[in-house]
Amino acid sequence: MSSDPSRSVSKFDDEDYPAFTMGRAAEMVGVAQPFLRSLEEAGLIVPERSSGGHRRYSRRQLRKAERARRLVDQGTPVSAACRIISLEDQLAEYTDENPSDGQEKGSSA
């Protein structure tokens, strides 16, 4: 059968493996370093820790951080943004493990 070395061998794709540093993550999401720390304090995103206590943000973490930035940028408190994203994340897991009905489709941007 055909093998695809370009495909992920582990369940961890480049979503959790690549861990960016603070300046990189902050630049990507467009926020300052203290903001990423506030998200961590809010419990929204807890990045892995590298030697010396240097944070390692993965793409998935940055995605949540970017979503938080959007809410906060619109005037949503960090505490509320943390709750909203947290609930969305939990809801996403629920819908993912419950492919019963595909009523998920409409995306009005």
Partner DNA sequence: CTTCTTACA
Partner DNA sequence: TGTAAGCA
Among 30, 33, 29, 60, residue whose Cα is nearest residue 44: 60
* Smallest distance, DNA to C-beta of residue 92, A: 23
Cβ-based nearer residue to DNA, 46 or 87: 46
Residue choice 5, 52, 102, 106 for contact with DNA (CB under 7 A) = 52
Single out the residue of 19, 44, 45, 55 in contact with DNA (rule: CB under 7 A): 55
Q: Which long-range contacts (CB under 8 A, 24 or more apart) does 70-78 make?
A: 72/35, 78/35, 78/38, 78/39, 78/42
The C-alpha atoms of residue 102 and residue 50 are separated, in whole angstroms, by 40
CA distance 83 to 11: 27
Smaller CB distance to DNA: residue 63 or 95?
A: 63
80 binds DNA (CB under 7 A): no
Residues that bind DNA (CB under 7 A): 21-24, 31-35, 37-38, 52-55, 72, 77-78
